[in-house]
Structure 1
Amino acid sequence: MDTVHESSTTTVRSYLDDEFAPVTEEVTAFDLPVTGSLPAELDGRYVRIGPNPKSADPATYHWFFGEGMVHGVRLRDGRCEWYRNRWTSAPGAPFPPNTNVIGIGASTFAIVESFPPPVELSFELDPIGVSTFDGTLDGAYTAHPKVDPATGLLHAVTYQPPSAAVHYLAVGPDARVLHDVEIPLADSPMVHDTAITESKVLVFDLPVTFDAAAGGTSPFAWQPDRAARVGVLPLLGAPDQVVWCEAPSSYVFHPLNAFDLPDGRVVVDVVKWPKAFDHSDPHGPGAAAPTLVRWTLDPANGSVSEALLSDRAQEFPRVNEGVVGRRHRYGYTVAGMIGQTAAVLKHDLEAGSTEAWEPGSQWFLSEAVFVPTGGSPSPGQAEDDGWLMLYAHDRSTARSSYVVLAAQDLAAGPVASVELPQRVPAGFHGNWIPAG
């Protein structure tokens, strides 16, 4: 709902009302009724996190800074065994992580960019405590590590304001840091995400920086005169191996995926914001409409060329995790975050076509996570052979559902849905974590 604050004639979006409104209770419910048929082979948890402030002043609240709350469902044998939601507060945590939930080995972690460390969660999603990855994490982590399917290593680019440097980290499948190098920069950019190829990691150095004097609801600010560039660094490489490529002035919260070309160039598909944190949306990331584009980086001459893939406003890009860092055909995004009709979009990047599931104007849809048929990738399996799972909120009833779609027949709508006992506020990221 748009709210006009009395102190201003500017109409601004509120992130404390309707689908963004926080919930006040931690709920546990068992054996939830299913409409349709949950894939019987899925054995694990779908978990997603987002901001859920315990108290907030509408005049100063920014969506990115609410305390984290995780929401999860447990699937087994075609049943939804439980739903749980839990705050991620833990002793010693300076801020409850609110941006992503990942599994590393047998452990589950709530994570966020910048200084707040990960918080380990139990299988039932209760916070256990702050984690420094067995004492190997010295400083900040990220909300978006990228898992190399060939090695199982989690690659990340981290930052910790007001430091002007970023760090490139690699974490092993045992949840221990095995590579940590510092990359000096001119100032303190917001580096929300990264992308990898089979041989490279990308460093997004873009015109949103930490500015302690910025005022307003966020310490980040758009810098229109600052250059945008992407660093190309060998996996497990050193800082002096970074090659910088000049990029179009813009901001990228989330890349879809990246891959190497035989001639040494690198392709990365990104959701591109013309600008962000420019005060056009004082309580969120910005009012600009983000589109899906392809950047082709040429380290030989430091250039970036751009091609538009989809002009529809969209965010939260995902791929089949088995093709991370490899040439991909399909990408999945969600529309509806900034006022247009809600939809899950499937982009066929070879055919240049898009398929959509559009459930109706009353719906708000969260990030759609791809899960291969069987629960994990299998040799020879088609890239789009799997399911998309997400939380969907019906504004007309103020109820939320867990929804499963067939990725190869998206327009047909849900193969299964589970009405949840607790409304799930609009949030950020999550993952399918198979049972170990």
Structure 2
Amino acid sequence: MQALAVFLLSAPIVWAAEFTLTPNDQQGCTFKMSGMVKTGDLDALKLFARTQLSKLKLTPIGLVDSPSGQKRPRLCLSSSGGSLAEAVRIAEFLRGPEDVIERDAILPLRNLATVVAAGDTCESACAILFMAGQVSEGQHGRFPDRYLHKDGRLGFHAPSLSVADGVYDKGTVDKAFKIAVAAIGLLMRNASDWGIHPTLLTQMLLTEPEDMAYLQGTAALQEYNIKPLNIDSARMPTTLTRGHVRHLCYLALNGAQLVRDDQSPGVASLWEGFPKYDETFRSFKRGPNEFDDDVIKFEFGVFDEGGFGCTGEVSAESEFWGSLQIASYGAGSSGELVVKHWMLLLEAPKPDAFGERLCALTEGQHSTPRTCQVTFSRTRKLDFSERLQWIIDVPEGQFEVASIDGNLTLNGRPAEPMFDSPGAFAVLSSACIKSDIATFCMAD
């Protein structure tokens, strides 16, 4: 009979994890773990800490480097998964009683931050290990300390049994199943102590083992207590605008979600560039409250059935702390967003999207829909005014549709939305705009 193994994985297991020192790493990592997580990696980590990390005189306590020049250890992770049970064992060890780590003579590991650096991917079992990153504050306790670069990828999914072709007896299957249940049980039991948000755990377990869902956006980082790397603090706004409040309200409405690759935004519909006639600020006032001398009090939303209302108070300058509450009208969501950090007012630049669409450009004559190639880009200024651009390629050449906060242009000329699609586009899900010399339609 053959053996079964329990894994959180996205690739076949080939090698166990490898630990290497990275003294000149740009992300400040002390060492790196790469490769698949495999049984025995906890022992390998302990041995590496005793023989290699011990030479670096790392500080065992404190959020910042110690005055004596000691450095806090940072572990960079690059792995597509492996053994869930072993990842949980490593995490339990790192987050376990401090006397256990002291007894093993590798004290700095109790003060180990975790990092997914630019260009690296940490998925499945690796993501569980990532969530074990912590800082020890001595008698004040230990707190999550984990970092995700905007160009790194952190992926979660439900565990699976790695089953090779063959015939298995009942005892072998039962044993593998018990190992899987025990590993998930340990994860559930430790989730709160490790700072794994219940929503993140739920989304992870609801993602099929053959899929992978990734953490994206500053709202998700704040919600799940993960610090961003390479967020440009020079782009920090100096005061709160209506654009910022609108952005925060939509973050509160949508919540922190894991996103599969096939859910990534593609070419946006032209509708997205239309003026937002249904969005309304009922109030946007600046003044004091009981905690701060300068806050923005606001009420924003789409106040129709199926829409939402967003109310709150956010500090107008500097730290931008505060909270927002969402109330739904019919369909929609209800909830709250606590603004803990100004980084919520920044989003990593979104890459251009490409796709094929049915479109037509009419200049004084009838035109039938045909396939065109579309490149879509989205840019946002400090005040959160947004520019959407569609570059459309057709055999006759290239033309542009742009929208800046709902102000449309077609090939650089002012344009306005059409709510009655002409000709063949009337039967398609499409949006049309017109300028003084041309009309353009594009199917969604």
Task: Pick the TM interval, shorter chain.
Answer: under 0.3
Q: Which has the larger radius of gyration?
A: 2
Q: TM-score, normalization: structure 1?
A: 0.27
> Higher strand share goes to which structure?
1
Q: Which of the two has greater helix per residue?
A: 2
Highest RCO, 1 vs 2 (Cα 8 Å, sep ≥ 6): 1
